[in-house]
Amino acid sequence: EDKVVQSPLSLVVHEGDTVTLNCSYEVTNFRSLLWYKQEKKAPTFLFMLTSSGIEKKSGRLSSILDKKELFSILNITATQTGDSAIYLCAVRNTGGFKTIFGAGTRLFVKA
Amino acid sequence: GAGVSQSPSNKVTEKGKDVELRCDPISGHTALYWYRQSLGQGLEFLIYFQGNSAPDKSGLPSDRFSAERTGGSVSTLTIQRTQQEDSAVYLCASSLTLGTDTQYFGPGTRLTVL
């Protein structure tokens, strides 16, 4: 059965800290891995990863994929209170078009 | 429109009633997806549309759930004879095509079944 597991489930840090969020997956015919940020209701797209070892970067956020070990990490440096959110990892396979989401990591950044 | 819109934003209903949830995708997006997010859980995939067609309905939790899409645009998710376990946020997303991996989400409908 295809699945996506995220860890930790929740995390509390102080402003300025660096955090690493983990996502491991098992999926047949992997196509892509996506990271989303969910602050209220609507998840917003962060990154899409399809190739191993190529880091995607956007400001203080970066992500990388390891297709051999079947995981991805999302790094956030110099965290700010506005980074507080649920971070969702999702995997898509070829053929079928289901997108399988993990349960998310709830990040809380204290001022 | 500028983004995906959903209505209503909140819906409270009594057990046994039918509800309809609506999704307006981004204009020009041919693919549309429905998800359910229960409290503290990740997103559970329900169904996707390519145009007006839904090739795979296996993600729908039960035969009380149905969805349709007309004119390649608006989609309606219908839940018949609602149960308390149906309480969740129902999220809709759209993408340019089915082959486009980036999905844009609407604000969701929070359904509460009393």
User: CA A111 to CA A58: how far, in whole Å?
Assistant: 22
User: CA B40 to CA A106: how far, in whole Å?
Assistant: 9
* pLDDT of residue A97 exceeding 90: no
Cβ of B98 within 8 Å of Cβ of A97? The answer is yes
Residue A93 has a pLDDT of 84
Place of tokens 């204009």: B27
Query: Is B110 domain-assigned?
Result: no
User: CA A23 to CA B9: how far, in whole Å?
Assistant: 30
Q: Which of B4, B98, B101 comes nearest A34 by C-beta?
A: B101
Query: Is B91 domain-assigned?
Result: yes
Residue B9 has a pLDDT of 95
The CATH number that domain A3-110 falls under is 2.60.40.10
Structure confidence by residue, pLDDT tens digits, B13-25: 999 999 999 999 9
Taking the Cβ of residue A40 and every Cβ of chain B, the question of whether any pair is shorter than 8 Å is answered with yes
Q: Which of A31, A88, A98 comes nearest B42 by C-beta?
A: A88
Q: What are phi and psi of B86, to 5 degrees?
A: -80, -10
Domain boundaries, chain A: 3-110
Instruction: Tally the domains of chain B.
Output: 1
User: CA A52 to CA A84: how far, in whole Å?
Assistant: 28
Q: Rg for chain A (alpha carbons), in Å?
A: 14
Domain span including residue B87: 16-101
Q: Which of residues 73-92 of B touch A (CB under 8 A)?
A: 89, 91
Query: Is B24 domain-assigned?
Result: yes
Domain harbouring B49, CATH code: 2.60.40.10
Cβ of A41 within 8 Å of Cβ of B33? The answer is no
Residue A46, SS3? strand
Structure confidence by residue, pLDDT tens digits, A40-78: 878 999 999 998 988 999 999 999 999 999 999 999 999
Residue B55 has a pLDDT of 81
Query: Is B45 domain-assigned?
Result: yes
Taking the Cβ of residue A41 and every Cβ of chain B, the question of whether any pair is shorter than 8 Å is answered with yes
Amino acid at site B74: V
Query: Is B62 domain-assigned?
Result: yes
From the number of C-beta atoms within 10 Å of its C-beta (0-12, 13-18, 19+), residue A110 rates as exposed
Beta strand A30-38 pairing with A43-49 = antiparallel
Query: Is B106 domain-assigned?
Result: no
Chain B CB contacts of A4 under 8 Å are 42
Give how far B45 is from chain A: nearest CA, Å. 7
Structure confidence by residue, pLDDT tens digits, A73-94: 999 999 999 999 999 999 988 8
Query: Is B57 domain-assigned?
Result: yes
Q: Give the residue ranges of chain B where pLDDT is below 70.
A: 1
Q: What is the pLDDT confidence band of residue A2, given thresholds at 50, 70 and 90?
A: confident
Taking the Cβ of residue B101 and every Cβ of chain A, the question of whether any pair is shorter than 8 Å is answered with yes
Mutate to test the interface with A, among B33, B101, B102, B105 (most CBs of A within 10 A): B101
Average model confidence (pLDDT) across chain A: 93
Q: What is the pLDDT confidence band of residue A96, given thresholds at 50, 70 and 90?
A: low
Query: Is B20 domain-assigned?
Result: yes
Residue B72 has a pLDDT of 83
